[in-house]
């Protein structure tokens, strides 16, 4: 599990292991040793196997490619 708190330095982060019910592991397609990202929400904590920072960066890249689609098309020729 990885603590994805943006106000913690890398040195402040701790590795922690815990047990989840098999149904939760199956629903997230997790296996032993996989990383989870923790995000604080108004409802509590959110656990996800996907890195939220990577997801944001990927969406930014997709938007850039949509905006400059004609240029990418010309470059591909």
- The sign of the torsion formed by the CA atoms of 42, 48, 50, 51 equals positive
pLDDT score at 2: 44
pLDDT at 42 over 60: yes
46-71: average pLDDT: 86
38-46: average pLDDT: 89
pLDDT in tens, 1-40: 444 444 555 555 677 777 889 998 898 888 888 888 888 8
pLDDT score at 48: 83
Tell me, letter by letter, the H, E, C secondary structure of 5-61: CCCCCHHHCCCCCCCCCHHHHHHCCCCCCCCCEEEEECCEEEEECCCHHHHHHHHHH
pLDDT score at 67: 92
């Amino acid at each position: 599990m990885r603590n994805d708190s943006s106000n913690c330095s890398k040195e402040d982060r701790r590795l922690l292991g815990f047990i989840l019910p098999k149904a939760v592991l199956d629903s997230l397609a997790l296996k032993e040793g996989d990383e989870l990202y923790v995000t604080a929400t108004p409802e509590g904590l959110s656990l996800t196997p996907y890195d939220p920072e990577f997801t944001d960066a990927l969406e930014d890249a997709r938007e850039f490619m949509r905006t400059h689609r004609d240029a990418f098309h010309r470059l591909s020729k």
